[in-house]
Structure 1
């Protein structure tokens, strides 16, 4: 038996690494003792990286621990050790993990006999309890939801930072924090000690954060709710999404060429490097642009928000129509976007796809401060709405069609339900277009399409705590015009305006905390009470979406789901059942909130996710001069459209 130690509160806690048959029997006796006592044991894995489904991914060690000891099985060394780890997981009646979906999915894939379906019902996730008690990261003023930060706060401030310590070991063997996990010697004493330390800390952390959630009065029903939502997301992540490898490879080349083409256009205006803020700001000012925004260091601000205003496009890249687009701003935006899409999507899909050409985006079921989900590797939630070029890479299984079901204007409806604004509620119940109503109130009945877009920005901006200055930056309006638009909006929905003011005052009185309708606890910065309504809207919309996801699962439809993204479910089904499945998913998601109906828009496409956006694709190919000047790109786009 190799024995290392991990220090907690000044005491060296043993970390056992069994080597012989007798050692393995000792481990079995330990597992049986804990199982027979009904105690909960912590479980964790050390792996080669984070791409759970990539071809080269593997579990290196599986570790088990209680507050007073840890055992590390070096499962990389053979099938017998993998079977022993799986036996322990089947035998133990109760487990705890930190960020359980990662370890459950890795285990499900690489330790035969320890399935996701078996692990999830008996596992409590310390991350969920941490997020429910304080959703902020440490750099946002909170405790932090990671094991290191949480253990330092709740367990032992002097406990070693396991990852930071290992990075030093990685450097010794010529690797980085990203590559070292796969290459560090599996017998490295620090590696094994820290592997054991993680389960010791997790085991000690769980009862402390359980008590904290109870002390804060968080709705106790959220604990099983979040575990259920996380489990469904794990099932979806495991299934994954098939990609068209040939198309994705062509897309990568196309995006590389597009980025270079637009960078070349930027160079004509003196910007040799599109990532040089100095070159860009000097060139824009030299063109006569007035840019009042400044960085914290006093330099001219040329971030994406500023450039989109100068290029006269909104955050979804749709034309605003408020000014003549600046060609340099547009060139830089398009060059950087193409480069980002190539790295974050095309190359990421090719790199992380499994042996069946399926990508498995990581679904953070409980991610943002408001609890909104996150999607990473690839980050599909960051794709602008309606953009088809990247989505075309995702294809349905053979003989299937892609389905999209999303909520109809969910956030304005949540706004109406929370605020009780009678005029907004009446408009929704009549089926009126809220943006038209706002535009008519601000600009009169003969408002233009451009003014309707401004009304949409104003509606979202006011609700999300953005003032006239922010709205002016997003729309290209003068500050005075933006202020008039905000005043007109508040005249349109007076109860909403009063509710927002009242909510902000309530949040300040309650120590900058807010309880959402579901009983979730949100915490705001002292200078950000203005964001409280935004937080309440986003958190409530997320919980509605999560309830819909659970209802989809209860109806046996999870096997159809490819991805939950924003307020949309992307799914697939065979050609002859696609419309029925889309309808059933839509019915599962439909509900009411305080009398406001939350309906859905089911849509059935073709064989790719991008097929749902092909009308826009045809228009874009025909009208964009860049495609006219680049026939190979146009051919790729036309292939994608078909």
Structure 2
């Protein structure tokens, strides 16, 4: 047995690490004496926990508030069996406390120790989820953050040792980067062992602090339980992953590289040597006769994406606006940057994220935003280009299956109508009207044009997402005066929206600048951005519609088909003969009533690839035929 310590609260807390198989009996005896939930953590060779490497977990740590044990599973089967036995004892006994448990440690232990994921989650509390329900803000937003170190500093001991920082220094002294340091550092390094034990000591002490804080703040226990259920369901999708069409992805990477080089060469013909230099781009544009009036906080002439898009006659999504002649330099800069980003962030990233079975496992952060909105990262599938098929074409349904996409129908506007009680919006929804066309008719009259509908759509989303007239003007290309008149007309048409925003702001001012969502989620407001209260209320409720829908899907037996939640959409894979029925079943789970407003969904069944859903019908047929001829359809 080796013995280490972790300094905390002016004391040295014991950290024990069995060195020989016969030492493990002392660990099991200690565990059997525990009467409170035990904190569990794992140390791995890196962040690629779902790589399929059976030796990826180096150590599993167990801790109470007074003592920690590190079980070095990399030493062999007897140590792995002791960790398995201990986990089962906790699952069936006092329970588990973990930090980032559902998204990291439970999947890692499921894959590498063979314990069913649901069992690892059924009697566990994730302190990261609890911390986000107390304060969802990131550190840079004025919050505590959700990482273990800042939470421990705030709730336990601000002078606690920063063993992670110490480890980083050790990695540096050994000539290792942080990415490989956890894999290559010696198992018995005292800082590594102290770090492992310290994490569970801190987690064990953090749980009661957070649970008490949740009670004091009046956060409903049902919301805590709900978040754990959503995280568990998303963990299943993360473990399952998505199949990647590797040959296509490699070709796409090559094509994007060629496009970047071609467009960069065009940019250089205008005297711009550095694509990443806004000053050079601005100077060249002014030399071409363009008038650039916007400036950065530092006083430099702005040449960012919004400025370039307007000059290229595009909206921020790359769609043509048809309000001016496109500036060729602005067009080339946008295309060059887009190709470079798509290559590195998507195609190249997908290929380097592959596991041994040709899958990627995007991380699903179930409460990433302040509003609770989910995010999908590593790789960032959440940020795929809107409406584009080329990147999504990289991902495949299972052999013999088809991709399904089920999206909420205008969920933000429906949620706004429900929460604010917007009478005319609710009438339009009940009549099955397109809300953007309905708004355009009320604002601009029965002879409204497609341009008017576009403005009305931008205003509707601007109200929901907190965008002002300038943002709407950039998105639509409409004259500013027309935008301002339309915004004023919008609020005359839907007066309940502004009344609800005023009410939510008053409630926040009387509640320490916190607005509470319809589900009881605390949403802190910034004093200089109180106008964002509508966005927070709507986005949070829309996210909880998705979370409840996922729970509905599991109850309906649909979890095995689910692959990914993306914004307000669920991606699934189902056998070709059942795909239509599965799509409708998922759609049914995403259909319910919210304060008298129907939340509805739009199921769509594609071909073998996700990208097929974005192709015209004639191209989709050719897409399916190609897969059949290539022998990939079954």
TM category, shorter: over 0.9
How many correspondences in the alignment?
620
- Secondary structure of residue in 1 paired with 2:150: helix
Name the CA distance, whole Å, in 1 between partners of 2:158 and 2:297: 33
Cα deviation, residue 84, structure 1: 1.5
Cα deviation, residue 616, structure 1: 8.9
In structure 2, relative to structure 1, the CA distance for the partners of 1:539 and 1:133 (3 Å cut) is same
The answer to whether structure 1 residue 223 and structure 2 residue 224 are counterparts is yes
The answer to whether structure 1 residue 49 and structure 2 residue 33 are counterparts is no
Cα deviation, residue 178, structure 1: 2.1
Q: Which stretch shifts more, 470-479 or 138-147?
A: 470-479
The answer to whether structure 1 residue 203 and structure 2 residue 204 are counterparts is yes
TM-score (norm 2): 0.94
Cα deviation, residue 618, structure 1: 5.8
Q: Which stretch shifts more, 295-304 or 231-240?
A: 295-304
The answer to whether structure 1 residue 346 and structure 2 residue 352 are counterparts is no
When the two chains are superposed, the root-mean-square deviation of aligned CA atoms in Å is 2.1
The answer to whether structure 1 residue 361 and structure 2 residue 359 are counterparts is no
Name the CA distance, whole Å, in 2 between partners of 1:64 and 1:571: 36
Cα deviation, residue 521, structure 1: 0.7
Question: Which segments of 5 or more consecutive residues in structure 2 lack a partner in the other structure?
Answer: none
Name the CA distance, whole Å, in 1 between partners of 2:21 and 2:529: 60
The answer to whether structure 1 residue 414 and structure 2 residue 415 are counterparts is yes
TM-score (norm 1): 0.93
Cα deviation, residue 317, structure 1: 2.3
Q: Is the 8 A contact 2:52 2:111 kept in 1?
A: no
2:299 equivalent in structure 1:
298
Name the CA distance, whole Å, in 2 between partners of 1:393 and 1:258: 18
1:16 equivalent in structure 2:
16
Name the CA distance, whole Å, in 1 between partners of 2:71 and 2:313: 58
1:574 equivalent in structure 2:
575
Cα deviation, residue 352, structure 1: 1.7
1:78 equivalent in structure 2:
76
1:294-443 alignment, distance < 5 Å: 294-443=295-444
1:108 equivalent in structure 2:
110
Name the CA distance, whole Å, in 1 between partners of 2:549 and 2:197: 39
Q: Is the 8 A contact 1:53 1:352 kept in 2?
A: no
Q: Is the 8 A contact 1:513 1:521 kept in 2?
A: yes
2:152 equivalent in structure 1:
151
Q: Is the 8 A contact 1:16 1:72 kept in 2?
A: yes
1:596 equivalent in structure 2:
597
Name the CA distance, whole Å, in 2 between partners of 1:501 and 1:617: 50
Q: Which stretch shifts more, 234-243 or 459-468?
A: 459-468
Name the CA distance, whole Å, in 2 between partners of 1:178 and 1:527: 38
2:187 equivalent in structure 1:
186
Name the CA distance, whole Å, in 1 between partners of 2:397 and 2:162: 43
2:520 equivalent in structure 1:
519
Superposed CA deviations along residues 81-100 of structure 1, whole A, max 9, x for unmatched, are: 12211111111220000001
Cα deviation, residue 443, structure 1: 3.4
Name the CA distance, whole Å, in 1 between partners of 2:56 and 2:293: 51
Superposed CA deviations along residues 68-121 of structure 1, whole A, max 9, x for unmatched, are: 111112212222212211111111220000001200111111113x22121100
- Secondary structure of residue in 1 paired with 2:234: helix
- Secondary structure of residue in 1 paired with 2:187: coil
1:541 equivalent in structure 2:
542
The answer to whether structure 1 residue 498 and structure 2 residue 499 are counterparts is yes
1:625 equivalent in structure 2:
none
1:629 equivalent in structure 2:
none
Cα deviation, residue 611, structure 1: 0.6
Q: Is the 8 A contact 1:344 1:377 kept in 2?
A: no
Name the CA distance, whole Å, in 1 between partners of 2:159 and 2:354: 40
1:626 equivalent in structure 2:
none
Name the CA distance, whole Å, in 1 between partners of 2:7 and 2:506: 46
Cα deviation, residue 579, structure 1: 0.6
- Secondary structure of residue in 2 paired with 1:514: strand
Name the CA distance, whole Å, in 2 between partners of 1:117 and 1:422: 44
In structure 2, relative to structure 1, the CA distance for the partners of 1:59 and 1:4 (3 Å cut) is same
Q: Is the 8 A contact 1:388 1:617 kept in 2?
A: no
The answer to whether structure 1 residue 528 and structure 2 residue 526 are counterparts is no
Superposed CA deviations along residues 298-341 of structure 1, whole A, max 9, x for unmatched, are: 22233323322322222332222333222222222222222222
Cα deviation, residue 21, structure 1: 3.4
Name the CA distance, whole Å, in 2 between partners of 1:55 and 1:310: 48
Q: Is the 8 A contact 2:21 2:79 kept in 1?
A: no
Name the CA distance, whole Å, in 2 between partners of 1:267 and 1:522: 47
